[in-house]
Chain A
Amino acid sequence: NAGVMQNPRHLVRRRGQEARLRCSPMKGHSHVYWYRQLPEEGLKFMVYLQKENIIDESGMPKERFSAEFPKEGPSILRIQQVVRGDSAAYFCASSPSRDTEAFFGQGTRLTVV
């Protein structure tokens, strides 16, 4: 059973471009969480999705950021018109239910130049 798969591992974007980060949860996991880790900071919750539904997006910036978890395919975190401050490691985690621990992917390191 493969773990949580994120791609790409590294992504470089110029200011103003769009970044699309993908997360395939572990098999059988329908709950997906996205976190952002800025340099020298802890992981910060962004959004919690359960197949086709956004459950909690309280950690998502109100503009430029969106997330989806379609019925088929990976979860996508989309950042439009990236700025330098978006440079961070973005981690995805998944769990089979609300009551079990979440397992993390390797993260996508986004660098905005």
Chain B
Amino acid sequence: EDKVVQSPLSLVVHEGDTVTLNCSYEVTNFRSLLWYKQEKKAPTFLFMLTSSGIEKKSGRLSSILDKKELFSILNITATQTGDSAIYLCAVEAGGGTYKYIFGTGTRLKVLA
């Protein structure tokens, strides 16, 4: 069965800290891996990763995919209280369906 596992489940840090969120997966017909940030509303898109070893970067956030070891990490440097959210990892499974399989998320809380 396809699955996506995120760790840690929750994390509390102080402003300025750097955090690394992990996502491992087992899916058939892997197409892409996506990271979303979910606050008290819609998940907002962060990154889509399709190739191994190529880092995607947006401001203080960056992410990389390892298709051999079947995982991805999301890094957030110099964290701010506004980074507090649930970070969701999703893997797009192909085979004609193109649905996303989500992990349960990592709940990040950044303290001032």
Contacts and interface: CB of A to CB of B under 8 A. Distances in A.
Residue in B88, B96, B102, B103 whose Cβ sees the most chain A Cβ within 10 Å: B102
Contact of B88 (A43, A55, A98, A107): A43
A69 interface: no
A48 B97 contact: yes
Contacts of A45: 99-102
B42 A4 contact: yes
Contacts of B90: 43
Interface residues of B, number: 21
Interface string B63-102: 0000000000000000000000000101000001111111
B17 to A, nearest CB: 25
Given A42-B88, A42-B104, A42-B105, A107 B42 contact: yes
A71 interface: no
B45 A101 contact: yes
Interface string B30-50: 000010100001111100100
A93 B101 CA distance: 13
A1 to B, nearest CB: 15
B102 A106 contact: no
A72 interface: no
A76 to B, nearest CB: 19
A4 B110 CA distance: 29
Interface in B3-26: 4
A54 B6 CA distance: 30
A102 B97 contact: no
Given A48-B98, A55-B97, A42 B42 contact: no
Q: Across the A-B interface, give the 10 residue pairs with the lowest CB-CB distance, nearest first.
A: A56-B97, A42-B104, A104-B42, A43-B102, A42-B102, A45-B99, A104-B43, A98-B98, A106-B42, A101-B48
